[in-house]
Structure 1
């Protein structure tokens, strides 16, 4: 989703009459992006923790959940302009078996 400044606000900003509003809008948008990124990161941590303790019969479901959480996190990072995921993969300890599932639809959804 892309955000577009309201027309009246854009006109006033170009005229130099309302410079503070643009920075307030940008600050609010950045705050929302950071909040969403943090939320997605916590979902990944929770999914990876569940995967680590998953019993063999529940491992496939835990892998699917972790793959979906990591995929959503990577998408959110890319929306924030963070396109290199190598450090995050290493720091969060995302296993290769999760990375191979990124973007894959679960069997039930096919």
Structure 2
């Protein structure tokens, strides 16, 4: 009696060629970038929360603005990378990461350096 692989399993096996390898590596790079950006968002939000929980000197407003801008930039890059990966549901991400409205309002803004 011969045993045959079920058809549902055998259709997923494709011979390895240049396109398959390239596609796999591109997906791997996208996933790596997404993970890296996720960590950057977490660190930027943590720095903002730590600052908000502490005492501030005379330059507190300037420092907080810089932290808000950094968090917004990290969230913006993360948002773009998620879109490139085909992930488009932002409500869950905002909730899971606890992204403040103040940060979301700055996402995508172009800021000019002070002269």
The question of a shared fold, defined as TM-score above 0.5 by the shorter chain, is answered with yes
Are 2:56 and 1:59 aligned? no
Name the Cα RMSD after superposition: 1.7
Superposed CA deviations along residues 68-95 of structure 1, whole A, max 9, x for unmatched, are 0000000000011111111110000000
Structure 2 distance, partners of 1:48, 1:106, is 19
Structure 2 distance, partners of 1:64, 1:25, is 36
Structure 1 distance, partners of 2:50, 2:112, is 23
Runs of 4+ in 1 over 2 A off after TM superposition: none
* Structure 1 runs not aligned, ≥5 long: 1-17
| RCO comparison, higher one (Cα < 8 Å, 6+) | 2
Name the TM-score, length of structure 2 as normaliser: 0.74
Which is higher, the Rg of structure 1 or of structure 2?
Answer: 2
Of Structure 1 and Structure 2, the greater helix share is in 1
- Secondary structure of the structure 2 residue equivalent to 1:20: coil
Structure 2 distance, partners of 1:50, 1:43, is 11
Residue in 2 that maps onto 1:14: none
* Structure 2 runs not aligned, ≥5 long: 1-13
Structure 1 distance, partners of 2:36, 2:99, is 17
Q: What is the number of equivalent residue pairs in this alignment?
A: 92
Within-5 A mapping of 1:1-110: 19-21=15-17, 22-54=19-51, 56=56, 57=60, 58-108=63-113
Name the TM-score, length of structure 1 as normaliser: 0.77
